[in-house]
Amino acid sequence: MVLSARDISKRYGAVQALDSVSLDLAAGSVTALVGDNGAGKSTLIKTIAGVVVPNSGTISVAGQQVRITSPHDAQAQGIATVYQDLALCENLDVVANLFLGTEKSRFSLLSHLEMEKTAR
């Protein structure tokens, strides 16, 4: 597994947003996260992306348990998130949207090849 989330729980006061959710993501696969409004989809993604810190549970990347408490931590593990289409820049391709604000550069020039390699 490229990424495994195990028994992730998140509570906001009296609201249990995530209750022992587990998810495995395999290399080369496409995974859809589907559910009703308020089901916890966004909370789970934000937890994996380091925007939300879970109350309990673990995340492993390439078989190694990691601690993700910020988007910077997630990015260091190769995790990037592009939120709903409202946050996309229509004039940019997928790779450019993924690295928006954190572009890789060399000698003050954008390194499109390096960003594409990292995104894959």
Cα 79 from Cα 71, distance rounded (Å) = 8
Cα distances from 77 to residues 41, 43, 66, 97, 109, in angstroms, run 21, 19, 8, 18, 24
Domain range for 65 is 1-79
Q: Tens of pLDDT along 49-91?
A: 999 999 999 999 999 999 999 999 998 998 988 776 556 777 7
Q: Tens of pLDDT along 99-113?
A: 766 666 666 566 667
Instruction: Tell me, yes or no, if the pTM score tops 0.85.
Output: no
Which value, in Å, is the radius of gyration of the alpha carbons in the chain? 16
Q: Are residues 61 and 4 in the same domain?
A: yes
CATH classification of the domain holding 56: 3.40.50.300
Q: Are residues 36 and 90 in the same domain?
A: no
